[in-house]
Amino acid sequence: DIQLTQSPTFLSASVGDRVTITCRASQGISNFVAWYQQKPGKAPKFLIYDVSILQSGVPSRFSGSGSGTEFTLTISSLQPEDFATYYCQQLNSYPFTFGPGTKVDIK
């Protein structure tokens, strides 16, 4: 199975901050990376697929980049509704594994 790691595990930030989350894969996963946002008690919300393509309705302050085994999710200006846990997922090979998550909390 492809293992995903995320850094940092926990991030404390303020409204307006630029935030970057990194996802690293144990082997190359081409462009098959997706990102999700999850709030407590809710299903994950789909944000980005194919490294950098934003799902319809996702604010443009979210962006994705990367290649090969290292990928990033960036929030250009953190908003109050962005405080949540973020997961990356690889859809390159079965099973479609998820990263362990990065919790973004209010400083």
Partner 1 sequence: QVHLVQSGAEVKKPGASVKISCKASGYTFTTYYMHWVRQAPGQGPEWLAMINPSGDITTYSQKFQVRITVTRDTSTSTVYMELSSLRSGDTAVYYCARGGVITFGGVVVKRWIDYWGQGTLVTVSS
Closest CA to 90 of 54, 38, 51: 51
Q: How many residues does the chain have?
A: 107
Establish if 83 lies at the interface with partner 1 (CB under 8 A): no
Q: Smallest distance, Å, CB 47 to partner 1? A: 10
Contact call for residues 104 and 13 (beta carbons, < 8 A):
yes
DSSP structure string for 84-100: SEEEEEE-SSSS--B--
Task: Confirm or reject binding of residue 22 to partner 1 (CB under 8 A).
Answer: no
- Give the one residue of 13, 17, 22, 31 binding partner 1; rule: CB under 8 A: 31
Binding site for partner 1 (CB under 8 A): 31-32, 34, 36, 43-46, 49-50, 53, 55, 87, 89, 91, 94-101
